[in-house]
């Protein structure tokens, strides 16, 4: 989801195809930095239609709304826009429940990729590219982002427009801003949404999306929309909500281009590492040219890897799964969603749409993902043994991976940073 929303729910979601419900996928991979992106749900009840908890909570919301109106007007929002936007809006207990409900369970990266790059998603992606080829070619020429990459983002964000979310955005953001748990973040998004309405790009009840505020075909947060959305059709509106995906696809390309996309550079290339490889080198902070990696025995599974600039080696499932040589474009896709699995999903789906083969390496499918409580336990036990994870939050990000790797080195284990059930068992 565009905007690198860092204050929402843990994990990532892949929109399903051919199913009535959106599948939420929690990721638990060794090299995962959690992205906090909302899930677009196609049948979410809008706030103005849903029941509230009680009259007291509704009155409290109205009191908050009075104060918010004053703050919004001070930031340039007109009373008329406020009146139209908040017509019938009431707080929605279901949105608060979703915001508070952090899933205990995770899925592994291979389970995620099974959905992200499924046969159905690949087939539909090729069909979407062919259907909108002329538009996508023009977008690529304008922004220098390959059409397959734009289509892959579209596929993961909304199943090529099939699951854009039907939640009333003003209602959802007002509920979350009033809630107080992350009020500053959601009030900023709410102000941005009102500025979008004031600009005339869309109307209040047409502004729909996910329960946490992401909108349109490629799920832009309101602040990201204001900064990066474009009017590619030339009709005077940046319309990411309509059935015509042109502005949304162009906005995605503009977003990636702004953050430094390099045309012709792969996001990553599947590689093999040699027997005896020093797994401590598989670190995002350690970058070498492809030829330097080749000198260390790291070779492409589909032939020699060309030099596309500095690259790191990524082992999303440790030494037992696929390995990738990743380039700067990997970090550009991360601006959309910081989960490694999401980036690999976008990158690999785009490669497959362009005709590349599937990932060749096997995954350790006998492993299961750690639950949230198990991830926290691992962090606690690592820290207690002197390998400080610098926080107990259940997120297996770079700091925890570094701690895992240090523990593995001290214990004579393969230092691949893989946070597995076997590692947790050894810590117990």
Question: Which positions are annotated as active-site residues?
Answer: 157
Residue with tokens 């109106």: 69
Q: What is the DSSP string of 222-266?
A: HHHHHHH---SS-SS---SSSS--HHHHHHHHHHHHHTT--TT--
Instruction: Report the relative pairing of strands 167-168 and 299-300 from DSSP bridges.
Output: unpaired
DSSP state of 150: H
- What is d(CA 238, CA 39) in angstroms, rounded to the nearest whole number? 23
Residues 6+ apart with CB under 8 A from 13: 22, 23, 24, 25, 37, 39, 40
Strand order in the sheet with 323-326: 299-300, 268-272, 323-326, 312-314
CA–CA distance, 225 with 221 (Å, rounded to integer): 6
- Write the CB contacts of 242 (distance below 8 Å, at least 6 apart in sequence): none
Element (H, E) at 147: helix 147-158
Q: Please state, as a whole number, how many other Cβ atoms lie within 10 Å of the Cβ of residue 30.
A: 25
DSSP annotation of 39: P
Which residue spans within 285-390 are E strands per DSSP?
A: 299-300, 312-314, 316-319, 323-326
Exposure letters 269-302 (e unless 16+ CB within 10 A, then b)? bbbebeeebebeebbbeebbebeebbeeebbbbe
- CA distance linking residue 380 with residue 390, whole number of Å: 10
Tokens, residue 300: 């492409």
In angstroms, the CA 401 to CA 199 distance is 45
As a dihedral over the C-alpha atoms of residue 251, residue 253, residue 254, residue 256, rounded to 10 degrees, the angle is 120
């Amino acid at each position: 989801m565009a905007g690198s929303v860092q204050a929402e729910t843990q994990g990532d979601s892949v929109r399903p195809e051919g199913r009535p419900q959106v599948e939420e996928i929690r990721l638990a991979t060794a090299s995962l930095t959690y992205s906090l992106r909302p899930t677009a749900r196609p049948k979410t009840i809008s706030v103005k239609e849903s029941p509230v908890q009680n009259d007291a909570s509704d009155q409290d919301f109205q009191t908050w709304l009075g104060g918010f109106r004053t703050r919004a007007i001070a930031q340039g929002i007109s009373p008329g826009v406020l009146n139209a936007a908040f017509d019938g809006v009431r707080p929605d207990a279901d949105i608060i429940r979703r915001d508070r409900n952090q899933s205990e369970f995770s899925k592994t990266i291979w389970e995620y990729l099974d959905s992200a790059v499924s046969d159905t998603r690949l087939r539909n992606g090729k069909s979407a590219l062919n259907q909108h080829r002329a538009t996508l070619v023009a977008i690529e020429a304008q922004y220098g982002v390959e059409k397959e990459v734009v289509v892959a983002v579209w596929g993961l964000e909304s199943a090529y427009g099939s699951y854009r979310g039907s939640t009333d955005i003003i209602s959802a953001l007002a509920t979350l801003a009033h809630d107080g748990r992350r009020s500053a973040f959601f009030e900023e998004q709410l102000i941005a949404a009102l500025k979008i309405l004031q600009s005339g790009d869309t109307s209040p009840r047409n502004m729909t999306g996910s329960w946490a505020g992401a909108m349109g075909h490629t799920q832009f947060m309101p602040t990201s929309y204001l900064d990066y959305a474009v009017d590619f059709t030339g009709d005077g509106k940046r319309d990411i909500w309509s059935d015509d995906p042109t502005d949304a696809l162009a906005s995605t390309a503009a977003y990636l281009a702004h953050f430094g996309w390099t045309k012709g550079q792969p996001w990553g290339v599947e590689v093999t590492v040699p027997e005896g490889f020093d797994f401590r080198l598989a670190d995002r902070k350690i970058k070498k040219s492809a030829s330097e990696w080749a000198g260390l025995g790291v070779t492409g599974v589909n032939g020699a890897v060309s030099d596309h600039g500095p690259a790191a080696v990524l082992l999303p499932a440790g030494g037992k799964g696929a390995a990738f040589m990743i380039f700067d474009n990997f970090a550009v896709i991360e601006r959309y969603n910081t989960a490694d699995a999401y980036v690999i999903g976008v990158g690999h789906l785009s490669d497959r749409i362009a005709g590349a083969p599937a990932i060749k390496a096997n995954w350790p499918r006998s492993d299961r993902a750690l639950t949230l409580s198990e991830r926290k336990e691992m962090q606690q036990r690592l820290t207690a043994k002197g390998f400080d994870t610098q926080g107990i939050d259940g997120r297996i990000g770079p700091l925890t991976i570094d701690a895992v790797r240090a523990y593995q080195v001290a214990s004579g284990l393969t230092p691949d940073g893989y946070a597995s059930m076997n590692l947790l068992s050894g810590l117990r």
